[in-house]
Amino acid sequence: MKETLIVNLDAPGQKIDRHIYGHFSEHLGRCIYGGFFVTENSGIPNRNGIRLDVVDALKKIQIPNLRWPGGCFADEYHWMDGIGPKESRPKMINTHWGGVIEDNSFGTHEFMELCELLDCEPYISGNLGSGTIQEMSQWIEYLTFDGESPMTRLRAKNGRKGPWKLRFWGVGNESWGCGGNMTAQFYADQARRYATYCRDFGNNKLYKIACGPSSDDFEWMHTLMKNLVYCPTGCPENRFIQGISLHYYTIRGNWDNKGDALELETDHWDSLIKKAWVMDSILSQHKSIMDSYDPKKKIGLIIDEWGTWHNVEKGTNPGFLYQQNTIRDALIASMHFDMFHKHADRVRMANIAQTINVLQSLILTQDDKMVLTPTYHVFEMNKGHQDAIALPVFALSEEEEEYKTLSYSVSRSSENSWLASISNLSPEKPRFIKMDLRGATIRKIKGRILHSESLNAHNNFDTPDMVSPKDFSDFTLRDSELELELPAHSFITLDLHS
């Protein structure tokens, strides 16, 4: 199958916000405990309990932000339980995720230290479901106020004299479900109240993110835009929120049987890829609604939960959502980034669910061992798109397909540097691509490929490099035409330089 991609390398385009490459860490399974955080005397290299091998791995992919403490956990989390001497912190039952005991040893100070070590921005989800306005307001004051108050005295007592820098703040999570089972109108009214008391202290300006819809709940988006954003005359713009979240998970079957991560059959593969493409339609329709209320595109669309969701691995706690991660998951990640780039005029942040040991994770840990998943390598190979300019790509295909099996992005990071990402989503057929590169003369190309022979190839603690990037040179460049062949189920990046 052949396809021609026409790219104007000097064309204007929309900036790809680096926060599209964000991450999500919830008190769920082994994401925090055993993932990010261990006991200080565990023998695993750490700083105040924070795993340094994990920090090093995430810094290599230039992680821009980290969302915490959830997820569903956020709306049963009371932040004062997670400050002060660890031995004095109250224990609680994690009712959402496995019914295990949460000892609150990882709390606000530990999370903010983790973000400092990662050199990333924190994104905190406030408790609107079971918390109070006062509780949320005081948490922001504790974090960001630089002055004299009960909260700043408490912060100093707990070892932090000055405030932290905090921009991203979630006003509740999944309020249509685990965050309170609210109607859209009821949530909108609550969000107005809570957001009013989420104050900016000093030079710290919050970017407040409302709980948006689940997948294709377009009425929820209408209600929020009408009640939290729309302002025909006489009132300040963005007076309540600056962003609205969206959650969409890619599952093969249904919620009772989502399919296994290591399934080999091609019909399972095809089904999952088709479900992943639904995200493009969902984004387009939500953007259309947002544009009708906010034509200047002031409000960001924040996809703070996305990724594949399979059945848990056999023998693991079903409440821990631990699943393996194959080349298919990696390709679904690459597709999502292409869609986010395409809609970068409205998509300002995205957070894969989740970073470690949960759902479509980038990292798996087992005691002192750590393995990088195929999805991690997509983040690493794609990091050159962060803050680059997304360029329009025009495709000419010779054949009809049951579903689109080619996904691609091209971005410009400087006057003489571009990054092209191309995914062959077919489980069986190679793709022959001709790229018509216009507007610049390419003189140097460095290619990399993520590929495997097996459809369920994955990395584990015995074979941690089964799926990892390799050099790619199966291309020819003649004048402005670049021809290349992509193996079935593969992802490539091309660093282009003039």
User: Which of the four pLDDT bands, split at 50, 70 and 90, describes residue 398?
Assistant: low
User: Which of the four pLDDT bands, split at 50, 70 and 90, describes residue 237?
Assistant: low
State the fold for domain 391-497. Answer: Immunoglobulin-like (2.60.40)
Please compute the mean of the pLDDT values over residues 16-21 and round it to a whole number. Answer: 98
pLDDT of residue 253: 82
Say yes or no: domain 19-385 is CATH 3.20.20.80.
yes
Are the C-beta atoms of residues 124 and 71 closer than 8 Å to each other?
no
Task: Tell me if residue 467 falls in helix, strand or coil.
Answer: coil
User: Which of the four pLDDT bands, split at 50, 70 and 90, describes residue 234?
Assistant: low
Please compute the mean of the pLDDT values over residues 219-237 and round it to a whole number. Answer: 85
- Average pLDDT, rounded, for the chain: 95
19-385 and 391-497: same fold?
A: no
Residue type, position 111, single letter: F
Percentage of the chain lying above the pLDDT 70 cut: 98
Nearest Cα to Cα of residue 192 among 233, 229, 144: 229
Task: Tell me if residue 158 falls in helix, strand or coil.
Answer: coil
What is the residue extent of each domain of the chain?
A: 19-385, 391-497
Asked whether residue 233 carries a pLDDT value surpassing 90, the answer given is no
pLDDT of residue 239: 75
pLDDT of residue 319: 95
Please compute the mean of the pLDDT values over residues 232-246 and round it to a whole number. Answer: 80
User: Which of the four pLDDT bands, split at 50, 70 and 90, describes residue 71?
Assistant: very high
Cα separation, 237 vs 298, in Å, equals 8
Helix (H) or strand (E) holding 6: strand 2-8
Which residue out of 174, 263, 380, 398 is catalytically annotated?
A: 174
pLDDT tens for each residue of 460-482: 999 999 999 999 999 999 989 99
Are the C-beta atoms of residues 290 and 222 closer than 8 Å to each other?
no
Q: Convert 99-134 to b/e letters by CB count within 10 Å (16 or more is b).
A: ebebebbbbbbbbbbbbebbebbbbbbbbbbebebe
C-alpha 321 chain-centroid distance:
17
Please compute the mean of the pLDDT values over residues 246-264 and round it to a whole number. Answer: 91
Asked whether residue 127 carries a pLDDT value surpassing 80, the answer given is yes
User: Which of the four pLDDT bands, split at 50, 70 and 90, describes residue 254?
Assistant: confident
Percentage of the chain lying above the pLDDT 90 cut: 93
Please compute the mean of the pLDDT values over residues 358-365 and round it to a whole number. Answer: 98
Q: Which residue has 């999805």 as its token pair?
A: 375
Asked whether residue 251 carries a pLDDT value surpassing 80, the answer given is yes
User: Which of the four pLDDT bands, split at 50, 70 and 90, describes residue 399?
Assistant: low
Asked whether residue 267 carries a pLDDT value surpassing 90, the answer given is no
pLDDT tens for each residue of 318-334: 999 999 999 999 999 99
User: Which of the four pLDDT bands, split at 50, 70 and 90, describes residue 235?
Assistant: low
Q: How far is CA 146 from CA 71, 137, 216, 368, 469, in A?
A: 29, 15, 42, 39, 46
CB proximity list for 431: less than 8 A, separation 6 or greater: 1, 2, 3, 405, 406, 424, 485, 486
Can the peptide bond before residue 71 be classed as cis, meaning omega within 30 degrees of 0? Answer: yes
Strand partners, 481: 436, 478
Cα separation, 356 vs 464, in Å, equals 15
Query: Is 305 assigned a catalytic role?
Result: yes
Please compute the mean of the pLDDT values over residues 170-188 and round it to a whole number. Answer: 98
pLDDT of residue 176: 98
pLDDT tens for each residue of 56-65: 999 999 999 9
Which residue out of 76, 102, 121, 305 is catalytically annotated?
A: 305
pLDDT of residue 400: 72
Query: What tokens were used for 30?
Result: 């082994």
Query: Is 428 assigned a catalytic role?
Result: no
User: Which of the four pLDDT bands, split at 50, 70 and 90, describes residue 385?
Assistant: very high
C-alpha 2 chain-centroid distance:
32
Task: Pick the more confident residue, 253 or 437.
Answer: 437
C-alpha 389 chain-centroid distance:
19
Asked whether residue 146 carries a pLDDT value surpassing 70, the answer given is yes
Cα separation, 285 vs 131, in Å, equals 32
